[in-house]
Structure 1
Amino acid sequence: MGLSDKLVGILNFLTFLISLPIIGAGIWLAKQHSSDCYRFLQGPVIALGVFVLLVSMAGFFGSCCRVTVLLWIYLIVMFLLIILLLVFTIFAFFVTNKTAGEIVGNKGYKEYKLGDYSTWLRRQVNKTSNWQKIESCLADSRFCDGLRNVYPTKVDFDRANLSPIQSGCCKPPTICGCSFVNATYWNNCTNSLADPDCGIYTTNSTSLCFDCNSCKAGVLQNVTKDWRKVAQINIIFLVFLIVVYAVGCCAFKNVKRRGYQKGIF
């Protein structure tokens, strides 16, 4: 077995090992979480793991057993995967290139506006089917409830380092001029016409400002940060895939050359 064959076998064996925890994570999500918070995540996670598993097996057996058909399939799928990752990485940087969030009234947290994000991201979060799943997550997790104990007074709350989702979904926008009762209960809004979100906010702990544009903006802020991280990691992964693909091409040439020498081709 040539050096390139061994390298393809080793690299794809490592990829095979990586695919197992990906599949395991998807199965864990399927068994542990029945709510819409995680239901829409488990399918893509399992599909990704199975895809990586099959590709790595094709490359491993194709190089080690010198099966030309498997190497053909492996190289074609690997090429498509590289192209898709490259397109996604460029797209991710493009739609997340804007910075958002501003401090209002010397607060310790920032507030976010939906209009600050790319048109494509706004379109996705405004889709009823997408937002219903996200809103279900917000209601099920009840992550806003803990703010009342952590920040019991107005002074404490003003100094709080809230996450984008807490800032946008757990309270009305500052511009509404609402009075603080506790971290999730605001009333007597003096400027209720300043923003459409002022009329959407409710003191009901299961809805609060979950339907507000500020809440959607907070979600997009988190998505933007995560996508930037994924895009940066993808660059490293792309370099790795290109190296594996190049070695795979060498292994394919070796297998094909041996086939010619034996009169197979």
Structure 2
Amino acid sequence: MKIPFYKYQGAGNDFIMIDNRFLAINHHDPAMIARLCDRRFGVGGDGIMFLQSKDGYDFEMVYYNADGQPSSMCGNGGRCIVAFAKQLGVIDTETDFLAVDGPHHAKISADGNWVSLQMIDVDTVTRDAEAYVLNTGSPHYVTFAKGLTDKNVYNDGYAIRNNETYKVKGINVNFVEPEGEGYFVRTFERGVEDETYACGTGVTAVALAMARDKGQTGTINTPIRVLGGNMNIRFNYDGAKFTNIFLEGPAELVFGGEIELLF
């Protein structure tokens, strides 16, 4: 079955996009998903998304990690699928869609390259020694790191993700260093099992954890630099709950083509 696909990237986090509103693709095949995401034997990507019809919403986002397994929420993927939906003519400049962690609202710029995605509210932040642990649609571990530019994020992230506490369910590991008015962040992602150029739920977790660490409340804007570019997280925090959380950044079409699917 030969079908069209598109490749999108959001601050270097890259995804394969497939319009599945009418194709009725049965995509529950981990081996095939992993092959499509393989950077040598497939299209290549940190994950793959199927845009599907869903009653009551503009569309549904179905996401798989690069290892072929269904994933928890992907923030940059959510922003990219909004840009994809605009390209398809499914939406104009605003949308409400359904993802694995529930409904999401998003706005996209007129040129289609900047997406603001509302994330789930967060009311639980715990500690693991000096690190913060919280769920922003996916579980995240947030820890400070000095000399982050030269840090071996793969080795250190792999060790934390696979320690006795997290090895069964996995966790995304974010290393953060203050930079200017914001932060520099590098992330080891479960499912990809490697460092990625950006992680949307990860930078969101970092922004919330840093507000908690600094004792900030009110309306907060947090610029964050990742390997793939610059992002922004804005939210409200009353000292107990984070609300009106928006993950903002670029979402760009890289290329498109056709591929044979053997589902």
TM range (shorter): under 0.3
Q: Which is helix-richer, 1 or 2?
A: 1
Larger Rg: 1
The normalised TM-score by structure 2 is 0.23
The normalised TM-score by structure 1 is 0.23
Q: Which is strand-richer, 1 or 2?
A: 2
